[in-house]
């Protein structure tokens, strides 16, 4: 959908949510190919009429250039002419919708304030003054309205100004969804993931200690994974500072344009990581705008096994891997054949700039990820320990670098290696809350 039509929908969102009757439109939008039946089912399950209207308008913006004219046609076919004319008026270039008479004073609409990055702050200041007031950023933190909020949080570590670090002071800090796929259906041709419950227990305990509301879902099919992510995106996160999604499953390699890989439902089909991240981006989850969204993926990125390369003996330490270590790879192929074209197109069409998102992978894209049936996966075991030892003093990106370094020194079956990595679109350092800091007197 082009920007002109998106603007028309966004300018009139309040009227659409208030007056639109979505139930009258579903058949027409399905017949015209604007939505699939699965998408309509998801909209219908979003709640009240207003919730469905809000979700329909939000999804409409992702459905390509034909979506807007088809939507107008459906409105007229169902007798909702006033809304059609409202949008038609807003469609004309240079002609704003609802143009009031010159002497009519319209009270300002109240909207949530956008969360701006330091670059946006500089840009706004530049617009107000002809000369940029500061050529070089000062090393002394400038007082800001958010400083009082940070001062309220007792901490054993000196915290930086909120313009330099993410605000992580809410209690609880946010939601953490753990999807743990262990037992796979026979038709999926995927083996059961022994040891995954060990990973689940460690991460559930760890993120509860970091002051998150943890919810665990077990053995989810493809559609159930998407449903849980959709439900998470519809929660009100306005009182929280962060959101975490952890997925423990088999994985595979798929085509992508930003985040590689996909995770399998227990029925076989796989959900692209790229699609998973879109559920919580600023467009689909407004209450998480400007807040960090963290994804931890314990799954293979493909079927290739890393043999490593020789290094000096001083650079390695004894292997932690065992002869019984298993992988989370798809056993037959690392292609994206199990994904429908509509899912791939959806992910690409609706993905904006992934601001404030970090995806941490247990292994490099294309390669297998190793898991011990008794002690759990290498990645989760080391991630849990690093969080326990270092969360009080180090930021997340630094800790993930420690995890990568330690996992890279392990060996499976005597010679196979593993290399975790992250796709990092965070704008600032992120420091977790820890039990010690919450108990420290103010």
Residue 356 region by backbone torsions, left for phi larger than 0, else alpha for psi between -120 and 50, else beta? left
How far is the C-alpha of 25 from the C-alpha of 89, rounded, in Å? 21
Pairing of strands 370-372, 421-424: unpaired
How far is the C-alpha of 407 from the C-alpha of 387, rounded, in Å? 14
Q: Considering just the CA atoms, what is the radius of gyration of the chain in Å?
A: 24
How far is the C-alpha of 424 from the C-alpha of 354, rounded, in Å? 9
How many residues does this entry show for the chain?
Answer: 442
Active site residue 250: yes
Tokens 């798809």 -> residue? 330
Q: Determine what percent of the chain falls in helix, strand and coil, rounding each to the nearest 5.
A: 35, 15, 50
Token pair of 334, please? 């690392």
How far is the C-alpha of 1 from the C-alpha of 413, rounded, in Å? 51
Q: Active site residue: 5, 237, 250, 264, which one? A: 250
Question: How many CB atoms sit inside 10 A of residue 144's CB?
Answer: 13
Q: Residue 376: what pLDDT? A: 82
Q: Residue 50: what pLDDT? A: 86
Q: Residue 366: what pLDDT? A: 59
- Rounded alpha-carbon distances, angstroms, from residue 282 to 54, 271, 287, 353, 426: 15, 20, 8, 9, 13
How far is the C-alpha of 173 from the C-alpha of 171, rounded, in Å? 5
Superfamily of chain region 3-91: Death Domain, Fas (1.10.533.10)
Q: Where are the domains of the chain?
A: 3-91, 174-439
pLDDT tens series, the chain, 442 aa: 778 888 888 888 888 989 999 999 999 998 898 988 878 888 887 778 888 888 898 888 888 888 999 999 999 999 999 999 998 886 544 344 344 444 444 444 554 544 444 344 344 444 444 444 444 444 444 433 333 333 333 344 444 434 589 999 999 999 999 999 999 999 999 989 888 999 999 999 999 999 999 999 999 999 999 999 999 999 999 999 999 999 999 988 887 677 888 999 999 999 999 999 999 988 889 999 999 999 999 986 434 433 343 434 444 444 444 544 554 544 333 333 333 323 332 233 333 456 899 999 988 765 666 667 777 888 999 999 999 999 999 999 999 999 988 887 765 445 566 788 889 999 999 999 988 776 654 4
* H/E element, 347: helix 341-350
What class, spelled out in words, does domain 174-439 have in CATH?
alpha beta
> Do 182 and 193 meet the contact criterion of CB atoms below 8 Å apart?
yes
How far is the C-alpha of 442 from the C-alpha of 433, rounded, in Å? 15
Active site residue 355: no
Pairing of strands 293-298, 242-248: parallel
């Amino acid at each position: 959908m082009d920007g002109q039509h998106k603007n028309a929908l966004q300018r009139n969102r309040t009227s659409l949510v208030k007056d639109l009757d979505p139930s009258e439109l579903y058949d027409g939008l399905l017949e015209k190919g604007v939505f699939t039946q699965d998408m309509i089912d998801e909209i219908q399950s979003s709640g009240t009429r207003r919730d469905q209207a809000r979700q329909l308008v939000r999804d409409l913006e992702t459905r390509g250039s034909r979506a807007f004219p088809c939507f107008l046609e459906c409105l007229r076919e169902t007798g909702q002419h006033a809304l059609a004319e409202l949008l038609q008026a807003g469609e004309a270039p240079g002609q704003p919708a609802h143009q009031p008479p010159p002497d009519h004073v319209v009270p300002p609409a109240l909207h949530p304030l956008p969360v701006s990055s330091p670059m946006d702050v500089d840009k706004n200041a530049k617009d107000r003054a002809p000369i940029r007031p500061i050529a070089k950023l000062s090393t002394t933190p400038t007082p800001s309205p958010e400083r009082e909020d940070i001062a309220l949080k007792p901490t054993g570590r000196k915290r930086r100004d909120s313009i330099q670090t993410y605000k992580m002071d809410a209690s609880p800090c946010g939601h953490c969804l753990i999807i743990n796929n262990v037992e796979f259906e026979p038709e999926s041709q995927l083996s059961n993931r022994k040891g995954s419950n060990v990973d689940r227990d460690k991460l559930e305990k760890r993120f509860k200690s970091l002051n998150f509301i943890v919810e665990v879902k077990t053995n989810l099919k493809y559609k159930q994974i998407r449903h849980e992510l959709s439900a998470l995106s519809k929660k009100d996160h306005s009182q929280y500072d962060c959101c975490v999604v952890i997925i423990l499953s088999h994985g595979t390699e798929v085509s992508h344009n930003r985040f590689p890989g996909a995770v399998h439902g227990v029925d076989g089909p796989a959900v692209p990581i790229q699609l998973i991240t879109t559920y919580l981006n600023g467009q689909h989850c407004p209450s998480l705008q400007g807040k960090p969204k963290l994804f931890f993926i314990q799954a293979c990125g493909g079927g290739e096994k890393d043999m490593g390369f020789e290094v000096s003996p001083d650079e390695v330490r004894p292997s932690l891997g065992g002869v019984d270590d298993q992988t989370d790879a798809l056993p037959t192929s690392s292609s994206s054949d199990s994904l429908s074209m509509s899912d791939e197109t959806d992910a690409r069409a609706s993905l904006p700039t992934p601001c404030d998102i970090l995806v941490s992978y247990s292994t490099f894209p294309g390669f297998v990820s190793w898991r011990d049936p008794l002690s759990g996966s290498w990645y989760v075991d080391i991630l849990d320990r690093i969080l326990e030892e270092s969360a009080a003093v180090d930021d997340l990106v630094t800790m993930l670098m420690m995890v990568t370094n330690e996992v890279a020194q392990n060996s499976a079956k005597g010679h196979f290696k593993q290399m975790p990595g992250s796709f990092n679109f965070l704008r600032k350092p992120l420091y977790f809350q820890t039990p010690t800091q919450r108990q420290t007197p103010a």
